[in-house]
Amino acid sequence: MKKLFLTGCVSLLIFSCSKKENTAIDTAETPSVSEPAKTNLSGDQIIETLDCSGCHSVNERMIGPSYQEIAGKYSQKDIELLASKIIEGGSGVWGSVPMSAHPQVSKEDAKKMVEYILSQKK
């Protein structure tokens, strides 16, 4: 009876033959989605070029939390997370008002802004 288990192995062999990938599709190189360019500005300068100040200020809660509040809640290890939040937008952390997305911002610039915001810690 134990020999029956071996039949399962045979079906694995059949599957390994049926892979068909990378055929005709690759011939026309599609240009990769262009990443937003990073600037040479510092974090606070980048913030000035964007709409952030319409919803955030350093020490007063407006539509969004103040930078001091954000700095009090997060630390250096959250830079990556907050940078994605600036680019992709989001809601639910501070209330139900959503934060708008900023797809024109590069990851590097977003991180610089986060570093500036975190440096506002009281």
Positions that interact with ligand HEC (CB under 6 A): 47, 50-52, 54-56, 63-65, 70, 82, 85-86, 90-95, 97, 99-100, 102, 113-114, 117
* CB closer to ligand HEC, 51 vs 80: 51
Name the token pair of 59: 């020490």
Q: How far is the CB of 34 from ligand HEC (least distance, A)?
A: 19
* CB closer to ligand HEC, 31 vs 103: 103
Report residue 34 CA to chain centroid gap: 16
Residue pair 121/72 in contact (Cβ under 8 Å)? The answer is yes
